[in-house]
Amino acid sequence: RFARIVNLSNDPSPGYNIEKLAKQGSKFFELPYAVKGMDEYTVADLCFSLQETAFAMVVEITERAMAHC
């Protein structure tokens, strides 16, 4: 599905094309993942995570704006 979303060819195979492009990359992006059986959470944890992520976004935008003043 990833190959389709980023418009990679299926020829000879999506996995091969992903591997080929991965060799050209060097910047690592942290991606979310879940390990089966380890994905227990509470609604409070979700609310906390949402709030912290939103706050981090606002802080980053503010810092970038202040850097251009």
The predicted-structure confidence for 17-59, as pLDDT tens digits, reads as follows 999 999 999 999 888 777 777 777 788 888 899 899 999 999 9
Identity of the residue numbered 26: S
In angstroms, what CA-CA distances link 64 with 5, 6, 28, 38, 69? 30, 29, 21, 36, 9
CA 69 – CA 58 distance, rounded (Å)? 17
| Domain count of the fold of the chain | 1
User: What's the whole-model pTM score?
Assistant: 0.48
Provide the pLDDT confidence category of residue 10 given band limits of 50, 70 and 90: confident
Domain holding 21, by residue range, is 2-67
Lookup: tokens for 17: 């094309």
CA 33 – CA 13 distance, rounded (Å)? 24
pLDDT above 90: residue 62 = yes
